[in-house]
Amino acid sequence: MGKNLKWKALLVVAVVGFAFWIGYPPLDVHDKEGNVVEEGKVNLGLDLQGGMHLVLLVDTSKLSQNEAKDAPDRALEIIRNRIDQFGVLEPTVHKQGKDRIVIQLPGITDRERAIKLVKSSAHLEFKIVSEDAELMKRFFSDETIEGYELKYMKTRNGKEEALVLEAKPAMTGDVLVDATTEFSQSTFNQPYVSINFNSKGAAEFSNITGANIGRRLAIVLDGNIYSAPVIREKIPSGRAQITGSFSVQEANDLSIVLRAGALPAPVTIIEERTVGPSLGKDSIERGIRAIIIGGIAVLIFMAVYYLLAGLIADFALLLNIILITGALSYFHATLTLPGIAGLVLTIGMSVDANVLIFERIREESKLGKSLRAAVQSGFQRAFLTILDANLTTLITALILFQFGTGPVRGFATVLSIGIVSSMFTALVVTRLILDFLTQGRAKLQKLTMFQFLKDSKINFIGKRKFAYVLSAIIIAVGMFTFAKRQEANYGIDFTGGVLQQYRFTEIVPLEKVRKALEPAGLEGVSIQQFANKREMLLRTQEDNSTQIKEAFKKSFPGNSCEMMRIERVGPSIGRDLRGKALKAVIFAMIGICLYVSFRFEFRFAIAAIVALLHDVGISLGAIALTGRELSIPVIAALLTIVGYSINDTIVVFDRIREDRKLMRKASYVEIINTSINQTLSRTLLTSTTTLIVVLALYFLGGDVINDFAFVMLVGVMAGTYSSIFIASPILIDWPSKRAK
């Protein structure tokens, strides 16, 4: 082995060894009892480990200009303090834009409690209760009385007591410095909240209690009366109590929000994505199953078709997975459910570079070159094609990362890492092994491979007009259906609304589910059953999760129901996401157009863009015809199709550019036909390996990722078709002197 090979081998061993060391184990390792014995090195997204993703809007419309300026920053700090005291493991709280706050709470199971803690304004007021019976009568007569207000307080027996309060608070909670949960000895350890004031507040409270002995003082938090005790004596200590029918958890949460302080402005949840831990675990299991089965199928296919070369590609593929998990761990990237889809997809696409190399080696061997020379020449000729094809896919992945949300960014991250990793394993690892096998005393003389397509001479260009008409009909039917469905094409990501997923222990007929929801006024809710009629998706315009769970609990007492996930998107977020999705597609097209123009010619770029629009159009039509909806993961799939399709097209374009120099006397039709036939084997092989893993994802990946997998299935087939029958033939029909 030469010195260069030794150094290359040491480099590969070092890189792979470091990736394995830093990335193993990627996921948690459990013992037989289910306890975690070793934590995984790869960060899991909320959609895999369970938790909440919230986007809050800070409403500064009623504040002065000076107050509104720093209100979002103050709200951010207060909410962060509340969450820190809430005890969430590794929460994330950050500002987005001018007036939005993004919160991620891993592992949260009590959704209602978390929302209440985050949204509570914690505006504390102390108001004197009026004992004037005449005022009470006037309020009950629907009369508005200036300076007073009527409120209701829940008593310990569950009833409500009407109280007339002075509208102007005697004092507020601005002077509060501490709040703790304590237990009353006189009422069987009933928890209450003890609050302490600063020196200014203590003096105020002393004056108020001293001047109102014998009267009731209402303690009002966020407009709700918690208690209204009678003032027995002057209280100079600067301490007070908030009592009520609290549980220990409620008292603790109340203490947390009071300690953290009142929000400077109201906040509204404009986006929520909550995933239960069982759905996250189920997604991981299904995703891993899809990776294993799809990966094994690809390994077997490559080994059977390319024999020894296929085994080399399989080895490179296994190293590729190690490098991806190591990179995810090293860069602290988050693996999401779409990220698992990206990993599955990378397995199918990563063999593409090896297929290109092997097909080139086959061609060079046919010219009579020795295997060593064929390997060297094959890598040289395949290098630029691999570079161009992968860079265009990388452009779409980076744009997807820029415009995507959390889970989709996870997909873009895995796809980007996978592209770089697959280039390294193909150009360095595969080359290293082949160089080792073709050098030395026992060097390999021949690399045997199967070849299903031998010297094909199909007249693709002659069939282009039929292909144009066929594509136009398919796209027209799809676009007509898409236009007819209008807003039904869009999921809640783009229209706003609430999506809830529930799982029952036993099968529940759809009719009984609808009947159970009628008393809650939810008879018109859209319901979709799946998973043997034990799981269902409910779509509503508002968050009715509490009423729905109560209705299910009442109607199906012996059949436990678990909320698997809830996604809530406000109209403003929906508009933003729709705009971002459109920008992502446009910028991806522009980026690809610029790159192809730079590497080839402008008309090549136009042909590529037409082919991409063709693939996107067919995919959108398939979505409409099958009654599916556009969502953020589906947009990710569409952009991946753009990257995949241009990858295919670039391979053909690169061969056209090469053949144009070699076939100087041939017509342009002959050159393009020859180029398509020369790359046909590679095109079909790459499509086959990609389809294998996408099929595994479609059938085994679970319902959450099913739409993504479906769009990828359609897109891969459309992309293969368009690179042969659309992109290349357009070069003939495009008005150009060079083409003529």
Segments of the chain assigned to CATH 3.30.1360.200: 124-260
- pLDDT score of 716: 92
pTM above 0.85, yes or no: no
pLDDT in tens, 482-538: 999 988 898 888 888 889 999 999 888 888 888 888 887 777 788 888 767 888 888
The residue type at 397? A
- pLDDT score of 441: 64
Q: Where is pLDDT greater, at 259 or 158?
A: 259
Q: Measuring CA to CA, which residue among 239, 148, 132 is closest to residue 195?
A: 239
**What percentage of the chain reaches a pLDDT higher than 70?**
98
Element housing 101 (H / E): strand 100-106
Q: Where are the alpha helices (DSSP H) in 242-370?
A: 248-260, 277-306, 308-330, 337-366
pLDDT in tens, 444-471: 888 888 887 777 889 999 999 999 999 9
Indicate if the pLDDT at residue 281 is higher than 70: yes
Q: What is the DSSP string of 126-188?
A: EEEEE--HHHHHHHHTT---TTEEEEEEE-TTS-EEEEEEESS-SEEGGGEEEEEEEEETTTT
Q: What is the CATH number that goes with domain 124-260?
A: 3.30.1360.200
| pLDDT, the chain, mean | 87
The residue type at 122? A
Q: What is the dihedral of CA 525, 531, 535, 536, to 10 degrees?
A: -10
Q: Measuring CA to CA, which residue among 386, 414, 306 is closest to residue 636?
A: 414
pLDDT in tens, 688-738: 988 998 899 899 888 878 898 999 999 999 999 999 999 999 988 876 555
Q: Which architecture, in CATH terms, is 497-569?
A: 2-Layer Sandwich (3.30)
Average pLDDT for 178-182: 90
Please check whether residue 71 is in contact with residue 264, taking contact to mean a CB–CB distance below 8 angstroms.
Answer: yes
- pLDDT score of 736: 56
Indicate if the pLDDT at residue 301 is higher than 70: yes
Classify residue 411 as exposed, middle or buried by CB count within 10 Å of its CB (0-12, 13-18, 19+).
buried
Indicate if the pLDDT at residue 739 is higher than 70: no
Question: Hunting for tokens 């005022």 — which residue is that?
Answer: 135
- pLDDT score of 727: 92
- pLDDT score of 84: 84
Indicate if the pLDDT at residue 641 is higher than 70: yes
Q: What is the pLDDT confidence band of residue 674, given thresholds at 50, 70 and 90?
A: very high
Q: Measuring CA to CA, which residue among 677, 679, 671 is closest to residue 738?
A: 671
Average pLDDT for 363-369: 89
Question: Hunting for tokens 């059953």 — which residue is that?
Answer: 529
Indicate if the pLDDT at residue 609 is higher than 50: yes
DSSP state of 426: I
Average pLDDT for 653-667: 89
Q: Measuring CA to CA, which residue among 397, 390, 391, 394 is closest to residue 354?
A: 390
Residue 38, strand partner residues: 29
Q: What is the pLDDT confidence band of residue 166, given thresholds at 50, 70 and 90?
A: very high
pLDDT in tens, 72-112: 998 999 998 888 887 777 788 999 888 899 998 888 878 88
Q: What is the DSSP string of 698-713?
A: HHHS-STTHHHHHHHH
- pLDDT score of 710: 94
DSSP, collapsed to helix, strand or coil, labels residue 403 as helix
pLDDT in tens, 304-339: 999 999 999 999 999 999 999 999 999 988 888 888
Indicate if the pLDDT at residue 740 is higher than 50: no
pLDDT in tens, 121-147: 888 899 999 988 888 888 888 888 899
Residue 644, strand partner residues: none
Superfamily classification of domain 277-484+574-733: Multidrug efflux transporter AcrB transmembrane domain (1.20.1640.10)
- pLDDT score of 440: 66
Segments of the chain assigned to CATH 3.30.70.3400: 51-120+266-275, 497-569
Give the list of residues 6+ apart from residue 586 with CB closer than 8 angstroms, or none. Answer: none
Q: Which CATH class is domain 51-120+266-275?
A: alpha beta
Indicate if the pLDDT at residue 2 is higher than 70: no
